[in-house]
Amino acid sequence: MMPIRCRGAWGLVLLFTCLSTSTGDAQRSVPSSPEPVVEALDPTLMKWYQRQELYYQYRWSWWKYSNYAREPYKRYVDVGLEGTRWYDLYGKYLTKGWKIYEWTQEVPTSFGSNIFKSGRYANWFNNVVIGRTSQGQYNLAVTLGDEIRTTLTPMTFSKPAFNGIQADFRSDKYALTFLSSRVNFPTRGQNVDVPETRMTDFNNLFGFRGTVQVGDFVNLGATYVNSHFSRTSTDLPLSGFQEGQLTSVQNQDVIRWIAIRITDDSPEDGEGGGVLFSEQIFINRGNAMEPAAIEPRIEGGLPVRGALAADGVEAITLTYVIPDPELKRKIGFELVLANDYRVETTSNLQTNALGEPVFLPVVRAAGNVDDGSNQRVVKFDYGLPTGNEIIGFTLEVHDLMGFTVWGEFDINNRWRRFPNINFERHAHAATRSEALFLA
């Protein structure tokens, strides 16, 4: 072995390096099973001889001579005066600041929907934060607030105290608006940090409106508003964006009985109410719906020529007890009705906080018919409400040959799903309504 001659401290350092290297080589020569190279995962430690803030804020270098004859001394201030440092997912530095608002949604997990509002949100910004930028004809603004005056169209969405986020874009020809909010417990800003409101079951609202200017007189627009239930405990976060998902409370059991109530849609006139001629329940057999031999318990109604009538405050109630409810994926009904009817449903899972059944409307007769000319077969599938959406179109004509026209056509879908705790996916159905306005 060739001797190494070293002098002073450098010799000691070199000798220590040589010994460490030879020791490491000896260890690596020992046979062993394949293993990952941990050294590649070890973080690199960088030694700083001064705090980074001293350089970035004061441009102070520790090796330079300090003289305050011309440039006065600047006292130290809190390094967190401009907030904390924020980095992206990969550790890249983004900016310095404070977390004012955060809305996150994580699935699948319990309590995955979270909203946080810091005390600065109320103290500094008075519960409204606006970010805006523009370039030429293009303008963009993002507004976060507890009480935003928001209107898409009068027939779709108009609220003087919208709690959520509104993003707007506008140019000479186009205009776009996007709304988002967690409707249940969106929290309000306070003088102190509001505790995070974490929820498993939540109700989200999303809205969109876009318009385009056609020529000098015509403006065309489209609107979409959706409010739906969902839960973070499911691994299907996007499957129910339109129809919604059953909440944990809605899907805590199976449907054991269903009640249908038929009433007069205009009870004030005392006549011409809904008339029931026949009924039939359908239950799924595989993928098909087949009639089931289940006789309902019938209460109320006035016998009229082989049918039952519900005039004024009278009501006809049909109660079906479902056999083997654990196996049912879908249940539907067919009713032969006439006159001014109103159909509502409830079940053992459609109750209020006190456990009392709550009837919700399914279908209503058009107009106030009392001569039986509108007799029809009404078909619908039972389910608990999970979503509500409106799709609309608008037309505006301004000062065209002296005329001004404003029109709107909307389609409303009210979604529901059939609950069964034994299944992960649930059948859905919708009741559709249309509305037209022209002025």
Distance from C-alpha of 160 to C-alpha of 413, rounded to nearest angstrom: 24
pLDDT at residue 308 greater than cutoff 60: yes
Distance from C-alpha of 31 to C-alpha of 321, rounded to nearest angstrom: 73
The answer to whether 322 and 331 are in contact (CB under 8 A) is yes
Helix (H, G, I), strand (E, B) or coil at 217: coil
Predicted confidence band of residue 2 (pLDDT cuts 50, 70, 90)? very low
Q: In Å, how far from its chain's centre is CA 359?
A: 26
Predicted confidence band of residue 285 (pLDDT cuts 50, 70, 90)? confident
Which secondary-structure segment (H or E) carries 24? helix 8-28
Strands (E) in 12-137, as ranges, are 84-87, 93-97, 101-105, 113-117, 128-135
Predicted confidence band of residue 17 (pLDDT cuts 50, 70, 90)? very low
pLDDT at residue 162 greater than cutoff 80: yes
Closest CA to 411 of 430, 391, 383: 391
The fraction of the chain above a pLDDT of 70, given in percent, is: 83
- Determine the pLDDT at residue 52: 60
- Determine the pLDDT at residue 195: 73
Which secondary-structure segment (H or E) carries 303? strand 302-304
- The residues near 362 (Cβ < 8 Å, ≥ 6 apart) are 343, 344, 345, 380, 431
pLDDT at residue 19 greater than cutoff 60: no
Measured from the Cβ of residue 288, the count of other Cβ atoms closer than 10 Å reads 8
pLDDT at residue 423 greater than cutoff 80: yes
- Determine the pLDDT at residue 21: 39
Interval 309-330: pLDDT, tens: 999 999 999 999 999 999 999 9
Predicted confidence band of residue 80 (pLDDT cuts 50, 70, 90)? low
> Is the pLDDT higher at 4 or at 377?
377
pLDDT at residue 284 greater than cutoff 70: yes
DSSP-derived pairing of the beta strands 315-321 and 331-338: unpaired
> Is the pLDDT higher at 180 or at 119?
180
One-letter amino acid for residue 85 of the chain: R
- Determine the pLDDT at residue 361: 95
Before 303, cis peptide (omega within 30)?
A: no
Query: How far are the Cα atoms of 34, 106, 160, 178, 228 from residue 113, in angstroms, in the given order?
Result: 43, 6, 25, 20, 14
Per-residue buried b or exposed e for 14-53, using 16+ beta carbons within 10 Å of the residue's own CB = eeeeeeeeeeeeeeeeeeeeeeeeeeeeeeeeeeeeeeeb
Query: How far are the Cα atoms of 44, 211, 404 from residue 409, in angstroms, in the given order?
Result: 63, 15, 17
Tell me the pTM.
0.79
The answer to whether 86 and 96 are in contact (CB under 8 A) is yes
Closest CA to 84 of 72, 98, 103, 74: 98
- Determine the pLDDT at residue 237: 53
Distance from C-alpha of 163 to C-alpha of 194, rounded to nearest angstrom: 15
The answer to whether 384 and 416 are in contact (CB under 8 A) is yes
One-letter amino acid for residue 61 of the chain: S
Lay out the sheet containing 194-199: strands in order across.
101-105, 113-117, 194-199
Interval 227-255: pLDDT, tens: 999 998 876 655 678 999 999 999 999 99
Q: What is the mean predicted confidence (pLDDT) over 105-110?
A: 87
Q: What is the mean predicted confidence (pLDDT) over 29-56?
A: 52
Interval 179-230: pLDDT, tens: 999 999 888 767 677 677 889 999 999 999 999 999 999 999 999 999 999 9
Closest CA to 151 of 220, 219, 228, 209: 209
Helix (H, G, I), strand (E, B) or coil at 133: strand
Q: Is the dihedral of CA 104, 105, 106, 111 positive or negative?
A: positive
Distance from C-alpha of 143 to C-alpha of 301, rounded to nearest angstrom: 54
The chain-wide mean pLDDT, for the chain, equals: 86
Beta bridge partners of 360: 345
